Amino acid sequence: MRRSVAAFLSYLVDERHYSPATIRSYGADLRQFELFLAGRAAPVSVPSSVDPLVIRAFLGWLHDRKDGRATIARKLSAVRSFFRYLVREGKLDENPARPVRTPRQEKKLPRLLDEGEVTILLETPASTTVGGKRDRALLELLYATGMRVGEIVSLDLAAIDLSEGTILVLGKGSKERHVLFGEKAKAALLEYLAARRSSPARAAGRGEDALFINKNGTRLTDRSVRRMLAARLTECAVKHRISPHGLRHSFATHLLNRGADLRAIQELLGHASLSTTQRYTHVSTEQMLRVYNKSHPKA
């Protein structure tokens, strides 16, 4: 089982070009599946011994552990993809996870900031230090482009076209797309890049290609961005606590509220399916209802 999982993860890296974060997620979910199989009254050690009943038992075990529906669905997806790979490689005749139904998901609206809160957040980092200039440029870019945090920390200097106001982004599945940014993000970027050129981190020479680097001169990590955003939200006393993905949600919702076309938003976000982008129409409707109920005398 372990060798099969290792081969599957290598396939995701070498042939599917999945991101390191996605590989870690698949690896963790499949290791948990292995532990479950090994801990059964009748342990299972080879993929060919797994049937739909075993996989349903795994889902029941996750439910007993109080895992949420979204988490269980993600882990089932990892298991299903693993067995699909084994069928594709000729190791199995059929996928035992195929007939197992995915748990019905609760429809949750994404957490985001309103336009005023975003303005407060973007103005919070002090612009007197290299770190402050970097944080402001990073937050401005996250909101201006709607990029995922993994995409923004992977950016190299060569991906930025300051004259055109565009960035070439390598998204999920190694799909390239161009995103746009405006004058405020450009000004923050120029200020950061000017300060970075004379900083000790730049002199270290270890992060020359990376756009955003830490004090040691190495590429900033997504975990560092999450910590920075949490600290900035506390600093500016915004009541909502969001992840970097919340700025992506805010980007899409604010564009939609101001009349942007849904398909244009889909392109900017890099969504493969329009149905993924359509969740923001629900957010926009919620906002419209709040305004109506607050403002209309007969609401």
Spot the catalytic one: 75, 232, 248, 254: 248
- Residue 5: which of 77, 69, 82 has the closest Cα? 82
Spot the catalytic one: 74, 172, 178, 279: 172
**Please, are residues 55 and 97 in contact by the beta-carbon 8 Å criterion?**
yes
Spot the catalytic one: 133, 148, 249, 254: 148
Question: Which residue did the predictor score with more confidence, 174 or 37?
Answer: 37
**Average pLDDT of span 278-297:** 71
Q: How far does CA 54 lie from the centroid of its chain?
A: 31
Our answer to whether residue 280 is catalytic in this structure is yes
Q: Quick check: helix, strand or coil at residue 290?
A: helix
The strand pairing partners of 156, in sequence order, are: 210
Q: Quick check: helix, strand or coil at residue 219?
A: strand
Our answer to whether residue 186 is catalytic in this structure is no
Reply yes or no on whether the pLDDT at 164 is more than 50: yes
| Assessment of whether the complete model's pTM goes beyond 0.85 | no
Q: Where are the beta strands (DSSP E) in the chain?
A: 160-161, 166-170, 176-180
Confidence of residue 259 (pLDDT cuts 50, 70, 90): confident
Structure tokens at 157: 């200097």
| Distance from C-alpha of 90 to C-alpha of 95, rounded to nearest angstrom | 11
Question: Which residue did the predictor score with more confidence, 250 or 202?
Answer: 250
Confidence of residue 123 (pLDDT cuts 50, 70, 90): confident
Q: What pLDDT does residue 193 have?
A: 93
DSSP class per residue in 41-79: SS---SGGG--HHHHHHHHHHHHHTT--HHHHHHHHHHH
Our answer to whether residue 80 is catalytic in this structure is no
Alpha carbon distances (Å) from 185 to 54, 182, 230, 270: 52, 6, 20, 20
Sign of CA dihedral 249, 251, 255, 261: negative
All domains in the chain, ordered by first residue: 2-88 (1.10.150), 115-295 (1.10.443.10)
Q: What pLDDT does residue 275 have?
A: 80
DSSP class per residue in 165-198: TEEEEE-GGG-EEEEE--HHHHHHHHHHHHHHHT
**Please, are residues 112 and 283 in contact by the beta-carbon 8 Å criterion?**
yes
Confidence of residue 299 (pLDDT cuts 50, 70, 90): low
Our answer to whether residue 172 is catalytic in this structure is yes
**Average pLDDT of span 134-142:** 95
Structure tokens at 201: 């981190």
- Phi, psi for 161 (deg, rounded to 5): -115, 95
Our answer to whether residue 282 is catalytic in this structure is no
Q: What pLDDT does residue 203 have?
A: 47
**Please, are residues 43 and 34 in contact by the beta-carbon 8 Å criterion?**
no
Q: Which amino acid is at 15?
A: E
**Please, are residues 155 and 169 in contact by the beta-carbon 8 Å criterion?**
yes
| Distance from C-alpha of 7 to C-alpha of 56, rounded to nearest angstrom | 24
Spot the catalytic one: 56, 91, 245, 279: 245
Spot the catalytic one: 26, 85, 192, 280: 280
Question: Which residue did the predictor score with more confidence, 297 or 123?
Answer: 123
| Distance from C-alpha of 109 to C-alpha of 121, rounded to nearest angstrom | 21
How many beta carbons lie within 10 A of that of residue 132, not counting itself? 16
At 189-246, the pLDDT tens digits run: 999 999 988 776 554 555 568 999 998 888 999 999 999 999 888 888 777 788 888 8
Our answer to whether residue 245 is catalytic in this structure is yes
Q: Which of 32-36, 61-65, 109-113 has the lowest mean pLDDT?
A: 109-113
**Average pLDDT of span 166-179:** 87
Q: What pLDDT does residue 288 have?
A: 64
**Please, are residues 143 and 188 in contact by the beta-carbon 8 Å criterion?**
no
